Amino acid sequence: MSSNRDSRSTDDGAIGVGPRLLMGEHVYLRRMERTDLPHVYRWLSDAELCGLIGHSGVSSVDEVEAWFERVSTDPTRRWYAVVTSDGDRVIGEAGLLRLNDGWRTTDMSIIIGERDDWRRGFGTEVGRILLDFAFNYCGVHRVAIGVVGFHEPALRFWEKLGFSREGVQRDGYLHGGEFHDFVMMSILEGEWREQQARR
């Protein structure tokens, strides 16, 4: 993974902190831009997808615009569009949130919004890019994620990336009129570095 380091964008409508690009083999991450918002609106209007990722969804383009404005000025986020290297198609969004420099912790999120691109390995590559970014660029010690408890494929996905289950928020998520658990997972810097040494 390589990064094109650029501390802030002022004129391209991109979310403004962190490197402009994080490069992988089959996908790359570029700072999210206003022109990506129609994709985000379409993904977050998908009730099934939102149910799987623990998101309440959106009801209007204005909501997505407001989200973009908030994220654009949030110094604790590094947010990216997921783009295919072949064809430059925007297929998802991903990033770090709740970055805490004092505690050296962050949360992580990956959404592959285009259904035709599920189960093609893109999410795994995005995860590896973001973990490299978190540990080597941002200097964090711990990366965490909350996963919808009934979404077994997602739990296996995060475990494949090296995350460990560390606790459960019982009935932490209301979906479809029923309460469900959230499974809390994390990976520590040392665990990630051991994983990299074995690859």
Q: Does an H or E element contain 132, and which?
A: helix 122-132
Structure confidence by residue, pLDDT tens digits, 112-149? 999 999 999 999 999 999 999 999 999 999 999 999 99
Nearest to 2, CA basis, from 20, 159, 45: 20
Does residue 96 sit within a domain? yes
pTM summary value: 0.86
Give the whole-angstrom CA distance, residue 86 versus residue 88.
6
**Under DSSP, is residue 146 helix (H, G, I), strand (E, B) or coil?**
strand
pLDDT for 163 equals: 98
Domains contained in the chain, number: 1
Does residue 21 sit within a domain? yes
The enclosing domain of 100 has a CATH number of 3.40.630.30
Give the whole-angstrom CA distance, residue 163 versus residue 165.
7
Does residue 45 sit within a domain? yes
Does residue 148 sit within a domain? no
Least confident window among 6-10, 57-61, 92-96, 173-177: 6-10
* Range(s) of the domain holding residue 112: 2-140
User: Please, is 62 exposed, middle or buried when counting C-beta atoms within 10 Å of its C-beta (0-12, 13-18, 19+)?
Assistant: exposed
As a whole number, the mean pLDDT across the chain is 87
Give the whole-angstrom CA distance, residue 108 versus residue 134.
9
Does residue 163 sit within a domain? no
Inter-CA distances, 132 with 44, 112, 195, 196, Å: 27, 19, 12, 10
Cα–Cα–Cα angle for 117, 131, 124, rounded to 5 degrees: 25
Q: What is the mean pLDDT of residues 84-105?
A: 95
Q: Does an H or E element contain 185, and which?
A: strand 178-188
* Stated length of the chain: 199
pLDDT for 17 equals: 59
Structure confidence by residue, pLDDT tens digits, 11-32? 334 444 577 899 999 999 999 9
Give the whole-angstrom CA distance, residue 32 versus residue 93.
8
Give the whole-angstrom CA distance, residue 154 versus residue 166.
15
Give the whole-angstrom CA distance, residue 9 versus residue 198.
37
Token pair 């985000």 is found at: 40
